[in-house]
Structure 1
Amino acid sequence: MIATYAIFGLNGLVFASWAARIPAASSTLGLGSGQTGTLLLIGAVGSVLSLPLAGLVAARFGIGNTVRLGGTAAAVAALTVAFGLVTVSVPVVAVGLFLFGSGIALWDVGQNIEGADVERRVGRTIMPRFHAAFSGGAFVGALIGAGLSALDVPLSTHLAAVAVLSLAVSLWTPRYFLPENAGGEDGTAPRRTRPGGLGAWGEPRTLLIGLVVLGAALTEGAANDWVAKATVDGLGTTESTGAIMFAVFVAAMTALRFVGGPLIDRFGRVRVLQAGLGSSLVGLVVFVLAPSVPLAAVGAVLWGAGAALGFPMGMSAAADEPERAAARVSVVSTIGYTAFLAGPPLLGFLGDAVGIRTALLAVGVAVLASFLVAPVARERTVHATETLRTDPDRIP
């Protein structure tokens, strides 16, 4: 279990190391919101092309090796982006972001399949805590980004250090994942099922769960990519203040993910989902319309807290039936991460016309759609012999 927390946390730190300093990259390359959006879209294309293949890669090479491959690609990508910034080359940065998107896609799907396996083995809701580890890593990454920005440390140097950390941890940590295809001694189902085939793409419930996750992922992704820049552009603040605003959003999200499991077990997925999506919508509106940094921070807190549990609950809902869990998690992850990565760049183009802060209101449409279909994530009862309920302290 510790290994799963670690790999989620590192993923968040690597992603936020880039996201928190997007304004610095834009400034170095002399790009506006629309041009920055184009760069981000290239990274999203890398992810979108890799996501549908991630489940098949995991089936062929294993979950641990999928994470290793993703982490290695992300490290190489970070070095490529760093080189592009040093040489002020937009094409080189674009190549790096494409590779970064591909690596993060493999890493994300792998870690979510692993998290679903661990949650099923423990027998209680813990997926939000794995995503809290992601948010915690992102929070640390955002704070580091804010500090390095305030100290005028070049983003290229920052990314080079992140590349070394990503490579070391992503190669070493998966050795402590759950063993592949290890069944229980009493004849119970295997601890993990291999993600194979494309049949889950034709299941209505799986696709609707994907729609729930789409709204939650889009609001989280929009914040990751644009909260810092929207604060800088919309409120006339410094880059370090923008990075701190992003850290406020991530802190609220992280806190709710740590305490969200017991709330879900007590009130059920649907109620918690709808309460969270409502909070996210209110917070988004407050952030966009706020005339001052403190009030915008209040909106960021509501936005982050509301967006906290949608993605992990979607992963848990997709994994309700162990024998189909891996394939369904792969599908829902693909839909969610497509929105998470492809949606924000499109907001950049809209931001050129109306301002990036105002453009964020478009996210509310997707959040409302997720709210309306949230009942599809209701818990399904699974026969006791289909899960392994063991002491979580014994899980590596």
Structure 2
Amino acid sequence: MRDGLGFSESEMGVLLLTGAIGSLVALPTSGMIASRIGAGATCVTFAGLSAGGFAVATVAVTADQPMLVRVGLFLGGMGVGVWDAAMNLEGAVVEQRLGRSVMPRFHAGFSLGTVAGAGLGALAAHAGLSLPAHVIGVMVADLVVVVVCVRFFEPTPHGVGADGVMPGSASSADTAADPSTAVDAGHSLRDTLATWRESRTLLVGLVVLAAALTEGAANDWVSLAVVDGFGTGNAAGAVGLAVFLCAMTLTRLAGTALIDRLGRVTVLRLSGVAALVGVVVFALVPVLWVAMVGVAIWGAGAALGFPLGMSAASDDPRRAALRVSVVSTVGYSAFFVGPALIGFLAEHVGYRDALLVLALPVVAGLFVAGAARPLAPAGGAGPARTLDG
């Protein structure tokens, strides 16, 4: 896209910002939408919007229409943002019904998709496949998979009566005995605004913000940093991204046992330290293979922050949809700030040195990691789940 549009580093940063703006515009409404029509319908609707938006953007690149590229990325960002919040809500429902940590494994599925995407990107670049043919083909396949898979979703709370219980669902007494059966009413704008005043929810959002910056910066810039920083070809840049994504995927697959053993807070702090070490190694070591080791450590450190934040936001099933939307909105603001900031810095100091700015949010995330500690149940009789040691 950079080459097709003839954009500079800073212009690419602003371009990437367009999709983040779309997500931020739509995300605050995701809790209301999912609570009213359910996670499955929300995923299908907004996966379709994202597919259409990214298809428009890629066709516009070949037509040299930068404004239309921005329109497509804005719509794609809206779709991805709400789709992301809805599937995290569904993941929380499954996790609560199982009674153990599984959210990182769902995010490993996300990472497997990005690994596949990086691999297809390398093959497409090597084969000289056009950008629209590549991206539109992937978008169509994605949408088919979503339509099929949501048929197997666990029902998420929506369409409830005045007593807060969905018709035909568990009774109020059952809900009191098992919070995982609790349901949300179709939430209003007032409910959403009230959630934005919850200090714990905002601190969990800051944890997710730090994780999203650390992950998103790699997704956006590692390929270009390898290409420009080490003088390699585009295929090598895609391999660098694949190393990051593979490390993330493996950590998410293996991380559930670590979370159950050490607890959320300890794992979040260990992850922050690993991310910090990995970024520093990649940015400062001039040897490509050592820098790739740093990318792998960076990927492992960035793996668990986002899923753990989603789990923390969903501890109370009755408020899960709203809190996930707030935490997702705060987290996605990383994509509002990160691409433009790193792109601006890269124009002056290069991509690799610019990535050192990630140390600031990682350290901030370390300080507020305690906010993700599991909530006690409404009666106050101990922790809601034994995920924090």
TM-score (norm 2): 0.89
- Distance in 2 (alpha carbons) for counterparts of 1:256 and 1:361: 23
1:376 aligns with 2:371: yes
Unaligned runs of at least 5 residues, structure 2: 158-165
What is the deviation of 1:85? 2.0
**How much has 1:346 moved relative to structure 2?**
2.5
Offset, 1:338: 2.0
Tell me, yes or no, if structure 1 residue 187 matches structure 2 residue 171: no
Could you tell me which residue of structure 2 aligns to residue 331 of structure 1?
326
2:287 to 292, 298, 303: 292
State the Cα distance separating 1:170 from its structure 2 match.
2.5
Query: CA 1:225–1:275 in structure 2 vs 1: closer, same or farther (change >3 Å)?
Result: same
Name 2:13's counterpart in structure 1: 37
Aligned to 2:354: 359
Q: What displacement does 1:383 show?
A: 6.9
Aligned-partner SS, 1:187: helix
Offset at 1:194? 4.9
Deviation at 1:380, TM superposition (A): 2.7
Which of 198, 201, 223 is the aligned partner of 1:203?
Answer: 198
* Contact 2:5 2:66 (C-alpha < 8 Å) held by counterparts: yes
The letter for the 2-side match of 1:150 is H
Check 1:262–1:195 CA distance in 2 against 1; reply closer, same or farther (3 A cut).
farther
Aligned to 1:74: 50
Q: Provide the C-alpha distance between the structure 1 equivalents of 2:216 and 2:185, rounded to a whole number of angstroms.
A: 28
Show the counterpart of 2:249: 254
Q: 1:53 aligns with which of 22, 29, 37?
A: 29
Larger-gyration structure (1/2): 2
Matched-pair contact (CA < 8 Å) for 1:210–1:332: yes
Question: Is residue 4–residue 61 contact of structure 2 (8 Å, CA) maintained in 1?
Answer: yes
2:276–2:362 contact (8 Å) kept in structure 1: yes
CA gap of 1:236–1:375, structure 2 versus 1, over 3 A, is same
Query: Does residue 124 in structure 1 map to residue 115 in structure 2?
Result: no
- Post-superposition Cα deviations, 1:177-226, rounded to whole Å, max 9, x if no partner, equal 11244634772353553572222111111111111111011000000000
Deviations 1:211-266 (A, max 9, x none): 11110110000000000011111111111100110000000010010011111111
Cα separation, 2, equivalents of 1:307 and 1:82: 28
Q: In structure 2, how many angstroms separate the alpha carbons of the residues matched to 1:107 and 1:267?
A: 31
Question: For the Cα contact (< 8 Å) 1:184–1:388, is it kept in 2?
Answer: no
Report the more deviating stretch, 168-177 or 212-221.
168-177
Following the alignment from structure 1 to structure 2, what is the Cα–Cα distance between the partners of residues 100 and 121? Answer: 32
Out of 138, 156, 160, the position equivalent to 1:162 is 138
Whether the aligned pair in 1 keeps the contact of 2:227 and 2:233 (CA below 8 Å) is yes
User: Match for 1:133: what amino acid?
Assistant: G
Distance 1:54 1:82 in 2: 26
Matched residue of 1:125: which SS? Answer: coil
How far apart in 1 are the matches of 2:58 and 2:317? 42
- CA distance in 2 between counterparts of 1:248 and 1:180 reads 35
Q: What one-letter code is carried by the residue in structure 2 that aligns with 1:234? A: G
Is it true that 1:301 corresponds to 2:296 in the alignment?
yes
Structure 2 Cα separation of the partners of residues 339 and 194 of structure 1: 30
Structure 1 unpaired stretches of 5+? 1-24, 390-396
1:234-245 equivalence runs, <5 A: 234-245=229-240
Cα distance change, pair 124–156 in 1 and its aligned pair in 2 (3 A): same
What is the CA–CA distance in structure 2 between the aligned matches of 1:279 and 1:376, rounded to whole Å? 20
Contact in 2 for aligned 1:270/1:378 (Cα 8 Å)? yes
Task: Verify: 1:112 aligned to 2:88, yes or no.
Answer: yes
Which one of 309, 313, 336 corresponds to residue 318 of structure 1?
Answer: 313
Structure-2 separation of matches of 1:255 and 1:191: 33
Q: 2 CA distance for matches of 1:167 and 1:301?
A: 30
1:139 aligns with 2:126: no
The CA RMSD over aligned residues, in Å, is 2.1
Per the alignment, residue 129 of structure 2 pairs with 153
2:226 counterpart of 1:231: yes
The answer (yes or no) to whether the contact 2:227–2:237 under 8 Å persists in 1 is yes
With over 3 angstroms needed to count, the CA separation of the structure-2 counterparts of 1:231 and 1:108, relative to structure 1, is same
Q: 1:45 to 1:221 in 2, by over 3 A?
A: same
1:256-301 alpha-carbon deviations (Å, 9 max, x no partner): 1001111111111111110110000010010111212201110101
Matching residue of 1:8: none
What is the distance in 1 between the residues matched to 2:147 and 2:54?
A: 16
One-letter code aligned to 1:30: G
* Identity across the alignment (%): 47
Contact 1:119 1:126 in 2 (8 A): yes
Aligned pair in 2 of structure 1 residues 339, 163: CA closer, same or farther (>3 Å)? same
| Higher mean C-alpha deviation, range 80-89 or range 193-202 | 193-202
Please show how residues 264-283 of structure 1 align to structure 2 within 5 Å. Answer: 264-283=259-278
